[in-house]
Amino acid sequence: MSLLAETYRHRAADLLARAWSTNAPVIARVAPLLGASIADGGVVHTFGSGHSEVIAREIIGRAGGLVCVTGIIDPTGGFVENLPGYGERLVARYDRQYQLRAGEVVIVISNSGKNASPIDVALYAQAKGLTVVALTCMAMTRAATAQHPSGRKLYEVADHVLDNGGVDGDAIVEVADGVSAGPTSTLIGCSVLNWLMLATIDWLKAHGHPLPLLRSQNAPGAIEHNREVGARYRARLSRPLA
């Protein structure tokens, strides 16, 4: 096996274990908020700009995941994430089409936590009465300069903060002098969100609420099942079910 790959495996495993310990108390606080909102008929909103959109999509429409998770999708892929006011217009358009409702939760993902669009989304959602959960890299955001007109970073805006525990620059394996590879934000960020979703499912189960979980559409009868559990949310999901 490649020495670089082995180095990445060990360091990433250490970071993942640390992320579990760091985020467990936050997940314990946030899961009941998500559970109560879902039990009341609410949906969970996600947003990630640039590559962080990959993490946001991890819990949308997934086999074994909650059907009531939907995403604010940036059609530019983060290309204009620091254009003044762009994020606010993006989330306002989403709100008109899918509705952001007071009492719901929005999860905003930004590794650097410095760019404008994620902060626009967080501020807009808070003004609508939603709880904002940030997923960021605290080591990186502390070293970064805020790009939002307010001068604030995502963790300073959010109600709750999840830390992916990564390093400044994301990559953890030095491959040449001053050059690193092997990013961890996606690996750990997706894990943290799945931990949060499972804790939410645990809360729903413990309080006697139905579990609106999707099945793999490759399994017999799964498409019909998914349509059935998703029927009440159909008008609010930005990604349609099969």
Classify residue 180 as left (phi > 0), alpha (psi -120 to 50) or beta: beta
For residue 241, what pLDDT is reported?
87
State pTM to two decimals.
Answer: 0.97
pLDDT tens string 102-143: 999 999 999 999 999 999 999 999 999 999 999 999 999 999
> Domain residue spans in the chain?
3-236
CB 9 within 8 A of CB 64: no
Strands 171-176 and 179-183: antiparallel
User: In this structure, what token pair is assigned to residue 84?
Assistant: 């003044």
Q: Which CATH number fits domain 3-236: 3.90.950.20, 2.40.50.140, 3.40.50.10490, 3.40.50.1980?
A: 3.40.50.10490
Which residue intervals of 207-239 are DSSP H helices? 222-230
Residue given tokens 């491959």 in the structure block: 175
Q: How confident is the model at residue 91 (pLDDT cuts 50, 70, 90)?
A: very high
